[in-house]
Amino acid sequence: MSTATTPGLGADHLAHVAESATPTVHRGGEERHGIRRGLGILVRIVLCLVFGLPLVFMFVSSFKPDLQIFSDLGNIKAFLPVGDISLDNYSGVFGRVPFAQFMMNSVIITVVTVVLGIVVNSMAAFALARIGFKGGGIVLGIILATLIVPFETLALPLLWWSNKLPFLGPEGFTEGWLDTYQVQIIPFIANAFSIFLFYQYFDSIPKELDEAAKVDGAGWFRIYRSIVMPLSGPAVATVAILTFLPMWNQYLWPLMAVQSEELRPVMVGIDYFKQLNTSWGQIMAYASIITAPVLVLFIAFQRAFINSIASSGVKG
């Protein structure tokens, strides 16, 4: 009788042990998940402070006079809108520089460069990725090799060549592109990194679509315009954003190639506040104004930006 009941008691005992052990394992997993989540939140907070506090300091300082900016540097007041707060710095910005002209110049230069850059770089990448001509790999390698050359090493030769190019302007045929819009746009249309991004994305699109289009009588340009580009929205968004940011922040090249005030972009306008008496409050106000459009655009399209980067074939 006891022999018959022992297995049953053993099975009940094992079931009880298993039931009592399962919550412990589950609690351990929850604890580890909670720790990882807490560390993740802590890292995000630290990153927000590292990248956000300089922007907060810039914006808050734009409302303070210079003396208060320096007196608040040693404490938390530097990040708080306290003390002598006013809009005098902003009114001083518009009185000291032709801000509307600078802003319009930057918008024109940036938008034209982004649009032409998407067209030119995508067509170059399409030829390399889809047409597959002989020596295409060598051409792509040469294009990518230009990424290791810093712009500062090319600035002076580029300036010399730009001054030798023919130009048909309002005064007739002249020599030299200096002090024009095109000298700020054309040298930056073709971009090796943009070509590489488009190449990666185009190469991932099935080439069977090209064959099907050829059967219907489509040529290469029709395939590019009607098939490949409509499927490349994430790559287009990535290239547009990564072209917009450096063009909006362009400083060295306009400073070298542009002398007329009516053609200068917004970044060069900061130099106006360093002449004679430096006004740090006005510099902060000016920087806040020209930074606001970039922040608004990024906040509005941050999800599209992250998705475009994730799906554009950029791999570490």
In percent, the amount of the chain with pLDDT more than 70 equals 83
Convert the pLDDT of each residue in 45-97 to its tens digit: 888 888 888 888 999 999 999 899 888 888 888 888 888 888 889 988 888 88
| Model confidence, pTM | 0.78
Model confidence at 23, in pLDDT bands (50, 70, 90)?
Answer: low
Burial class (CB in 10 A: 0-12, 13-18, 19+), 158: middle
Using alpha carbons, list the distances in angstroms from residue 281 to 33, 57, 90, 277. 46, 11, 9, 12
The mean pLDDT value for 184-192 works out to 93
Q: Tokens 């520089």 appear where?
A: 97
Structure confidence at residue 175 (pLDDT): 72
Per-domain residue ranges of the chain: 2-61, 97-311
Answer with the residue of higher pLDDT: 15 or 163.
163
The torsion angles phi and psi of 221, rounded to 5 degrees, stand at -65, -35
Domain spanning 97-311 has what CATH number?
1.10.3720.10
